[in-house]
Structure 1
Amino acid sequence: MNRQSCWWKAAVLLVFLSSSHAARILGVIPMPAKSHNIMFQSLMEELAARKHQVTVISYFPQETRRPNYTDIVLDNERLKGFGRRDFSVNDVFSFARLIMLWMMGIKFTAFTLEEPQVQELIQSKDQQFDLVITEAFFNEALFGFAHVFKAPLIVLCPFGGTHWMDFMVGNPSPFSYVPDLFLSYSDHMTFIERLHNTVLGVYALLGRALFYIPQQNAIMRKYFNRLESLPNLWELQYKTALFLANSHVSVSYPRPLVPNFIQVGGMHIKSPKKLPQDLQNYLDDAPDGVIYFSMGSAFHSVKFPEIKRRALLDTFSKLKQKVLWKWEDDNLPDQPPNLKISKWFPQADILAHPNIKLFITHGGLLSTLETIYHGVPIVGIPIFGDQHMNMVRAETAGYGILVEYGNLTSESLYWAVTEVLQQTRYRDNARRLSKIYRDQPESPMERAIYWVEYIHRHRGAPHLRSAALDLAWYQYFLLDVMAVILAVVISVVLFMYVLIKTVIRMLRSISATKARYPKQKIN
């Protein structure tokens, strides 16, 4: 046998072995939000690069076509007329906000499942998948895909998760030191904050049980109608094999985690790419540094009212630093000479440049993770979602300043910007957290891929499942044990009370008898 023949057979064997371990993976992301898709698509593209067969249902098809990556693109036309209300930062204390998010999730979930291509996939008896990956964001009816295809369910959360998401995998989530996503509290809460956190948490759990889950369950039964044996959604959600959370201790707080709750915060971050030459020159030729300003993908800067835009321009015109502003228009009236605008900037690559001195941001989690990764301090102007909480954490950690949108003036913004630029502690803290974030045994993406493939290799890895999921709520909180202990204590106390009372009565009776019949003195 010649050497060429041996190499050829070895190559065939390697191809066979790699294909035999490749998984058929279905990914479903029903949110038409670019920031949600960035993280999700990063994972799916990497899985495709690892030779897995990937099918993705989303509003955002891949830009670079891959032979083992299939897009099922949802129809954006359905979203017209479905207006999204911009949540103000005051809404973080509103219980009604949860209901609004539930209603939004119910609508987007229905949009996804009624899509003709999606229904064709559901009704097909030829399609088969080894894993189902979906987003954990008010779309539990999509868990029906895992039951239809008899595949382990993996959920990917675009943030650190909520109390009810923790319960899906039996993750401990005490109200005493784990703040709710929508509350701007730290893990050291005052009594009032713990009370608020507990009330909101209980409200969310009861609301899910009485209103939200029944609605999602009805959607699941309506669109996964090919199966008569479809379980209840309460049962199905507890079959989650793996929970991937976009979090890390550098941007959140330490807490206990079960083995199948994995933190992969920042897995969308890649090594910096070379910047376009004009942008590279702009950043290089900045002796006083550059400030980068972007409000993310959900809120466009052109939506700023005139008074806010004027405050921003007035502030930038007073600075000696250059400013890059992601401005979604070709022109910006009264643009100062130190300001450069563009409809799009390669944000992560810009933050990697050594001349970036400050990042003015909306406080979104992806942007927060990127600024931590590159060690850049921030000034945040949160608008909605978890942005306010992220900026409170930035202030607590000492690498940023929060400027409330309602208090966004030339004076407040100029103070915040000059404070961060002049006080070295903000950059020092950002660099300290960057060291903490980077000090990981593997990259977040490698960790995510490992655990996804681990679930595939071990057929759902049921050995990772917490026994907490098999307990009734009163058993989980040991209410039955405490009730028995309380009953025993009360019984002992009552017994002792009756015994003591009986003894006292007997002693009194003896004393009364002695008093009535005193002993006669014997001479």
Structure 2
Amino acid sequence: MEMVVVWSLCAVLCLAVPTQLEAAQVLGLFQAGGRSQWGLAETFLRALERRGHHVTAVTTFPSSRADGNWTEILIPNPLVGDFNTFEMLVTDFVGTLKLFSDAAVIMCHTFLGDENVQNLYRSGRKFDVVILEPFPAECLLAFAHKFGAPVVALSTFAGTDWIADMVGNPTPYSYVPNVFLELTTRMNFLERVQNTLAGIIPSIVRQLYYLPKLDEIVRMYLNDTELPKLSEIEKQVSLLLINYHFTHGCPRPLVPNMVEVGGLHIKTPKALPEDIQSFLDGAESGAVYFSMGTNVKSSDWPEEKRAASLRVFSRLEQRVLWKWEADSLPGQPPNVKIGKWLPQSDILAHENVRAFITHGGLLSTQEATARGVPLVGIPVFLDQKLNVALAARQGFAVRLDVHNITEASIQWALTEVLTVPRYRERAQHLSRIFSDRPTHPLDEAVHWTEYVIRHQGAPHLRSAALRLSWYQYLLLDVVAALLLLFLVVAFVIRAIIRRLCRVTPHPNRFGSREKFTKKD
């Protein structure tokens, strides 16, 4: 009898637990020129590997380790070179889009022209899912069509409206700001006009010029006559993972297969290297962390801006930990420590860190939000301006213009963040919101990816908007029909009124006026 009960309980438990997904063949395609983007992608792919899946990663950066479940195909990084980011500043919207377009062309040529990549395309291998970054190299979508596998797109930033279009997700221009504009969710009339034009015009150019140009590159290297246009393939994206979270200040509507996983790269703080731990532990008045990220090098900081920064730092009671990519820092004060590479997320978790001087990159902003550290934002390009603008509006950051880095402006910004309590209070308040989730974003990304694999692309998640033409989606045909109906009704009413006016008896026809005259 006892055995019957035991087996019955086992049967119930087996039915209650979802069937474990068998090991899947995962293809990861990441052509990113920046290491931070690859760091996010590798974190995600490694999580799938730990679940027992076999991962083939095509990347421009060597991974931290390799084993039986990890196969790596290294390709050249087309964006690596000896250049100064501050000499390449792009501040206008059109220039930003051109920068992305040029980068996409370069990356597609480099990626598709690689012999190992071409061999992979013609290998006849079977993959259960293809994971890729959707922008700015949509040419990678050709591999998903070739292998007949579902596509999981991982956007390493908040994404654009045309990336959201891949899964039919709405982007209301009235309150969702363009990621390349320095706007917020509260826009006046002129800002809404600017935001609308910044969404519509690039989308048109993308369809008429950008994607056809990438189609030509794909045909040049892959020579596949059965390959549809990229504009058609991108509509087959099964899942779009966005590295964003509403805590950053821009809540927006989401279709079921567009999932926010902002902060998936953030882990439990690890022990710091001994020298950094000692430096921060000894900061009795607190410490300031200074890093311009991986793509923007602090060592490229112009001489006058560097000198101004050092004069301010030398007067601080706080210690300054500066990510500096050169071997030495001329004029380095005793309270400043430099390092070519620093464990940023773990440093921000130290209780003595009181402020973070940053370029405003999304990954850095997320790490500061998770750790509750206020910001001095110095945005350089791309989405950094929006990230800092939203952080400033939320009350845990002050913004400095990269062209106005002076001794006075740096002194003001640091004094504001270090001495006004509300900046740290707001940062810690948002940290609690950012961390209050039912599951870790990395686990959520893995769950939905496996969901897509289990359900053969999960077509039931796709929005019906993908089947509509642009004029149907915008209801222009309905508006036109209603307008036509209104005009017809107005014409009929006008015709009836005119006819009634013609048949109405005129007073003269009954001689009323003549009779009145005779009586006179």
Question: Matches of residues 263-412 of structure 1 in structure 2 within 5 Å?
Answer: 263-412=260-409
Q: Note the residue ranges of structure 1 that are not aligned, 5 or more in a row.
A: 1-13
1:487 aligned residue (472, 484, 489): 484
Whichever residue aligns with residue 22 of structure 1, its letter is A
Contact 2:179 / 2:386 at 8 angstroms: preserved in 1? yes
Question: Matches of residues 229-268 of structure 1 in structure 2 within 5 Å?
Answer: 229-268=226-265
Bigger drift between 169-178 and 98-107 goes to 98-107
User: 2:55 matched to 1:54?
Assistant: yes
* Alignment correspondent of 2:144: 146
Contact 1:19 / 1:51 at 8 angstroms: preserved in 2? no
* Alignment correspondent of 1:181: 179
**Deviation by residue 1:314-360 (Cα, 9 ceiling, x = unmatched):** 11011000110111112111111111111111111111110111111
Matched residue of 1:250: which SS? helix
TM-score normalised to structure 1 length? 0.92
Aligned residues: CA RMSD: 2.2
Whichever residue aligns with residue 124 of structure 1, its letter is S
User: Runs in 1 of length 4+ with deviation above 3 angstroms?
Assistant: 17-20, 78-90, 509-512, 515-521
**Deviation by residue 1:107-138 (Cα, 9 ceiling, x = unmatched):** 1122111111000000112x111100100221
Structure 1 residue 222, shift from structure 2 partner = 2.7
* Alignment correspondent of 1:3: none
TM-score normalised to structure 2 length? 0.93
Distance 1:89 1:433 in 2: 31
Contact 2:249 / 2:394 at 8 angstroms: preserved in 1? no
Q: 1:423 to 1:492 in 2, by over 3 A?
A: same
Distance 1:421 1:250 in 2: 23
Whichever residue aligns with residue 49 of structure 2, its letter is A
Distance 2:508 2:222 in 1: 83
Distance 2:86 2:172 in 1: 30
Distance 2:86 2:473 in 1: 38
Matched residue of 1:238: which SS? helix
**Deviation by residue 1:239-278 (Cα, 9 ceiling, x = unmatched):** 1000000000111311110000000001011111111122
Q: 1:341 to 1:503 in 2, by over 3 A?
A: same
Distance 1:491 1:293 in 2: 67
Q: 1:246 to 1:84 in 2, by over 3 A?
A: farther
Contact 2:249 / 2:391 at 8 angstroms: preserved in 1? no
* Alignment correspondent of 1:115: 114
Distance 1:352 1:315 in 2: 24
Structure 1 residue 203, shift from structure 2 partner = 1.2
Distance 2:277 2:340 in 1: 17
1:170 aligned residue (163, 168, 171): 168
Whichever residue aligns with residue 59 of structure 1, its letter is T
Percent of aligned pairs sharing the same letter: 43
Contact 2:86 / 2:301 at 8 angstroms: preserved in 1? no
Q: 1:326 to 1:495 in 2, by over 3 A?
A: same
Matched residue of 1:293: which SS? strand
**Deviation by residue 1:215-252 (Cα, 9 ceiling, x = unmatched):** 11222223332x43211212111110000000001113
* Alignment correspondent of 1:513: 509
User: 2:198 matched to 1:200?
Assistant: yes
* Alignment correspondent of 1:216: 214
Whichever residue aligns with residue 259 of structure 2, its letter is I
* Alignment correspondent of 2:30: 29
Distance 1:214 1:512 in 2: 75
Distance 2:354 2:184 in 1: 27
Aligned length: 503
